[in-house]
Structure 1
Amino acid sequence: MPETVGGVPGELLDDLVAEYDSLRALVVPGTDLRAATPAEGWDVGAGVAHLAGCDRLAADALAHPNEFERARPLTDEGLASLLDAHITVRRALSVGALRADWAEQFTGLITALRLSQRGQKVPWFGPPMSPATLTTARVMEYWAHGQDIADGLDITPEATDRVRHVCHLGFATFGFSFAHRGLPVPDAVPRLELRLPSGVAWSRGGADTRTDAAISGDALEFALVVTQRRNHRDTSLVAHGDVARQWLEIAQCFAGPPAPGRPATTG
C-alpha cells in the first residue's frame, strides 16, 4: 500500500512540492512581476499572489474548518472579490518580499496537509473534499497558473508526468462541467486514452458499455484544455462522439463561475 502522510498519499504530496519548486525556479530575483500573462488582466505577480493567497486559504480550511466555513463567500461574486484581494494586498511587494510570503504560505499548507486525517472532510468553494482531493486541486492550480507565468516570462516549462493529476481532476469534473452551465449531464463519461510526457499510456473510464465516446491524444494538451489554458482547436486531441466533442468545448476543472476559456488561434 502506498505511503500516506496524514490524509494524503506521499507521492501526491511530493508532486505538489515538486510543482511548487519548479515554478519557484522560474520566479527568481529580478523577475518582471508586471510581465503580462495570457490570462486577461493578470500579470506574473498576480499569478504568484493568487497561489500564495489560496495556499493560505487551503491551510486555514484544513486547520480551522468551522471558521473557514463561516467566513467563506457564498456567491461567485464574493469569491471573486476574495481572490482579487489576495492579489491587491501583495501588489506592491518586491520579488524578494513576494517570494518570502509565498514560501511562508506554502509551508503552512504542507504542514496542514501533513497533519490532516484520512476520512477528514475539508470545506472549500463547493462540496467538502478529502485532503487528497484538495492536494490534487492545489497541484492543478500550481500547474495551470505555472503555465500562465511561464508564458508571461516566455519560458517553456518542463513537461512531467505530474500532469496526470490534472488529467485525473479533468476526468473527475466531467459532470461538473455540464451541470455548472445548466446543461444535462450525459449518462456516461467518455474514455480518456492519453499519452504522458514520458510516453507512458494513461487512461480513465471505459468500463461503461453504454458509450463509445472517447478522447485520445496528448495528456499535456488535455490538461491545458480542462484548465482552460488552451482551446481544444489548437491541440491535436481527437474526440470520438458528440458528448466528447461537447466536453472539450466546456471542460472546466476549477471552481468559480463558468469561464469562457481561451479563444482559438487557429481556424
Structure 2
Amino acid sequence: MADISALVDDLQTEHDELDKLLTPLSDQQWDLDTPADGWRIRDQVAHLAFFDGAMTQSITDAPAFLATLAIRRDTPDYVNVVAAPLAALPAATLLDRWRAGCTAVTDAMRHADPATRVAWYGPPMSLASACTARLMETWAHGQDIVDTLGIDRPATDRIQHVLHIGYRARAFAYRNRGLDVPTHDIRFEVTAPNGTIWTYGQSQTDVIRGPALDLALVLTQRRHPDDTDLTTQGHLADEFLALAQAYAGKPGTGRRPGQFPRARG
C-alpha cells in the first residue's frame, strides 16, 4: 500500500507552491487568459477549488457525492458550469475559498482509512490514486498559470506522480477516443529532475525517452510533443504520445505545435 502520508505531503507542497504564485496577483491578472481556450486564471483556480471540494465530499460523505453524479450526467459542459459561481467571486474571495478547499482535502486524506475506495466520476479508486490525481490536477492547472505569467517553474521530483498516473491511464486514453487498447505494453525511460532515470513499463520495443518534465507536460496536454525533447522507439510509443491524457473527462485539444519553446527541466 502506498505511503499516504508522503503522498499527501507532496500534494500539500504542490498547493503551497501554487499559492506563492497566486498571492501577489493583481485583480487584473486574475482575468488574464490562459493557454486553455476560454479559461482565465480565475477559471483555473475555480476549477481546482470545485473539484478539491468534490474530492473532500467523496472521502467524507460518499453518499452525498454519489448523489451529485446524476447532475453531472444531466448537465452539458458540467466542468465549466459547476465552477462558474466560484469563478465569478472577487479574486480575494476565490483565493480564500481555494485555500480552504486545499486544507479540507488534505485533512480528509490524512484522516481517512488508507484502504478507502474513493468514488469519483469514473471507476472508484484507491485513496493513494485519489491523492495522486489531485496533485496531477494542481500541477497541470498550475502550469497554465505559469505559462500565462511567463514564469519559469523548475521541475521537481513530484512530477513522478504525474508520470505514474499518465502511464496507468494509457488504456483510458484509448477507450476515451473509442479506440481499441493495444495488447502490448510501452515503456517510459525518462530523466528525472534529480538526474536519475525513471522507468515505467516493460516493453523493449516501444519506448518513450527524454526529460521527465517534457513527458509530464505531454501527459497533461500542456505541451505538444513536437515542442519537447522526447523521442520514441516503436509505433505504439509514438501513437501514445498523440493520445496521452492523464486526467479524466473528454479528450482535450491540447496545445498547438510551436505554441511554446522547448521545455527545459
TM over 0.5: yes
Matches within 5 A, 1:62-101: 62-73=59-70, 78=75, 80-81=77-78, 83-101=79-97
Residues 207-226 of structure 1 show CA distances to partners (whole Å, capped at 9, x for unaligned) of x5xx5111011110001101
Which residue number corresponds to residue 15 of structure 1? Answer: 10
Q: 1:195: which partner in 2?
A: 191
Matched, 1:52 2:49: yes
Where 1:202 maps in the other structure, the secondary structure is: strand
Note the C-alpha offset of 1:85.
Answer: 3.2
1:251 aligns with 2:244: yes
Deviation sequence 1:217-238 (CA, Å, 0-9, x none):
1110001101001111111111
| Gap runs ≥5 in structure 1 | none
Q: Say whether 1:27 aligns with 2:22.
A: yes
Deviation at 1:86, TM superposition (A): 4.0
C-alpha distance in 2, partners of 1:76/1:252? Answer: 21
Question: 1:28-55: CA deviations, max 9, x gaps?
Answer: 1443100111011001111111111111
Q: Which runs of 4+ in 1 moved over 4 A?
A: 73-77
How big is the shift at 1:67? 1.7
Among all aligned residue pairs of Structure 1 and Structure 2, give the percentage whose two residues are the same amino acid. 37
User: How many equivalent residue pairs?
Assistant: 257
Q: Give ranges in structure 2 of 5+ residues lacking alignment.
A: 260-265
Counterpart check, 1:126 vs 2:119: no
Distance 1:16 1:91 in 2: 23
Report the secondary structure of 2:258's partner residue.
coil
Q: 1:216 to 1:256 in 2, by over 3 A?
A: same
TM superposition score normalised by structure 1: 0.91
* SS of match in other structure, 1:126: coil
Instruction: Flag the structure with higher helix content.
Output: 2
How well do the aligned residues superpose, as a CA RMSD in angstroms?
A: 1.8
Deviation of residue 78 (structure 1)?
3.0
1:238 maps to a residue whose letter is: T
Could you say what secondary structure the match of 2:152 adopts? coil
Cα distance in 2 for partners of 1:76, 1:163 equals 32
Tell me how far apart the structure 1 counterparts of residues 65 and 172 of structure 2 sit (CA, whole Å).
23
1-structure distance, mates of 2:148, 2:168: 29
For 2:115, what is the secondary structure of its paired residue?
A: coil
Which stretch of the first structure deviates more once superposed, 38-47 or 252-261?
Answer: 252-261
Q: Quickly say closer, same or farther: Cα 1:251–1:77, change in 2 above 3 A.
A: farther
Distance 1:253 1:30 in 2: 28
C-alpha displacement at 1:92, in angstroms? 3.5
1:242 pairs with one of 235, 239, 250: 235
Structure 2 letter corresponding to 1:11: A
Q: What is the CA–CA distance in structure 1 between the aligned matches of 2:201 and 2:73, rounded to whole Å?
A: 31
Secondary structure in 2 matching 1:109:
helix
